[in-house]
Amino acid sequence: MSMISRCCKILLAFVLLLSSATASQNVPGDLDGNMIISDDEIASADADFAKGSITEQNLTEIRHIHDAYPITITDTQGRNVTIYQPIKTVVCDISHHLETLRTLGVPASMIIGGPENIDIYSIFPEYNNLTPVGSFYEPNVEKMIQLHPDIILIHPGTGSGTFGAFLGPLLEQLESAGLTVACFACSRPEIYTEEVEKLGKLFEQQEEANRFISFYKGVLSSVEEKVKGLPENERPLVYSENRPYRASNLDIEPIQTAGGRSLYEGKGEVQEVNPEDVVAYNPDVIIRIVGEEDYDRMNADDTGKMDEIRKEIMNRPELQNTTAIKQGNVHLIASPLWTYMPFSGCRHFIGVAYLAKWLHPDLFTNLDPKAIHQRYLTEFQGLDYDLNKRGVLVYPPS
């Protein structure tokens, strides 16, 4: 790169920093520059309206900011995040943000930047034209600054490892540009309702947040109430994998919530699984999480790939004497109903409902995971998505 090119790039970055910082501080009706509308500033706005200097719409906006702002929340990284006026533009760095904001009724038109390749997800047709800003593990900082949204939602990563080590420098870069940044995962079951509640507050969508949280907790409590008193010998032992003899500790929690025992409990980190160990433990149920492609996109009767995967498991010679194979208790579930892998999303609680039905069919005769799933897609995602016609998320069908 030539010296002139370097200078131009530095100058561009400086202009972007300056323009972003200026834009983020422009609060309607704020006369003293502290980004808070005081009673005196409301009186001044009333006077301006009386003189015809501002419109009724301007006055209404200023009054709303005076009454409702600033809003401060503590994000998932423990950072206090304050906004001083209604959010109008958003950038997200992971698909889970988009799904959660849609649950909250945040208009798609407000989201101006998102994760790259979002068009591979068939459930996000309205986001196909978003400006790509990289991904949560490889963000395009320059593009985020150029977009200068009112807020950027950043996935907090997973601690100090591969997806977390970059977080500190990233936040410093964005905040130095005068941008407001909030860290939310929207992918961790243990904190999801807390994050939904906080996002509902930030976006003034508290009613929608509360309605979803009631639905979400209702699904999980309908499972947890029935399995909480089960003795260990009535909790099926489950072997789960995401590829042949590859697994994750993240499988333990949903299996336990659904009233099962994971083969991996108390065994530390899990990646490679020894087939001999699976045989020795003799699981009652085998679960395969599939995430190789967009199973939401498929026609409901297009079960060939799922059937092929299930047959491969059923026909493994070493597993023939296990209880799971003998009783045909081998189930496949697509990653949108799980918490990780490509195409995973915010439907993990529905995955728990399916698990409960498989692990305890006699206990959950009245539980209808498909109906729960359909309600979520229709009522909370606003999708024209009929599970009787489209989507192969579990196999065999429940």
pLDDT for residue 353 is more than 70: yes
Indicate where the chain has its CATH 3.40.50.1980 domain(s). Answer: 76-204, 231-395
pLDDT tier at 7 (50, 70, 90 boundaries)?
very low
Predicted pLDDT of residue 188: 94
Q: Which pLDDT belongs to residue 159?
A: 53
Q: What is the pLDDT of residue 180?
A: 97
Average pLDDT rounded to a whole number, residues 231-252: 96
pLDDT tens per residue across span 354-373: 999 999 999 999 999 999 99
C-alpha radius of gyration, the chain, whole number: 25
CB-based contacts of 186: which residues, under 8 Å, 6+ apart?
A: 94, 96, 97, 99, 100, 155, 192, 195, 346
pLDDT of residue 257: 97
Section 120-138 average pLDDT:
93
Q: Kindly report the CATH number that applies to the domain delimited by 76-204.
A: 3.40.50.1980
CA dihedral over 193, 194, 198, 199, signed as positive or negative: negative
Protein fold of 231-395: Rossmann fold (3.40.50)
Identify the band that residue 71 occupies on the pLDDT scale cut at 50, 70 and 90.
Answer: very high
pLDDT range class, residue 158, cuts 50, 70, 90: low
- Please state, in angstroms and rounded to a whole number, the distance separating the CA atoms of residues 392 and 122: 13
Instruction: Specify the pLDDT at position 317.
Output: 98
pLDDT reading at 18 higher than 90: no
pLDDT at position 36: 95
Hey, which residues does 114 pair with through a beta bridge? 132
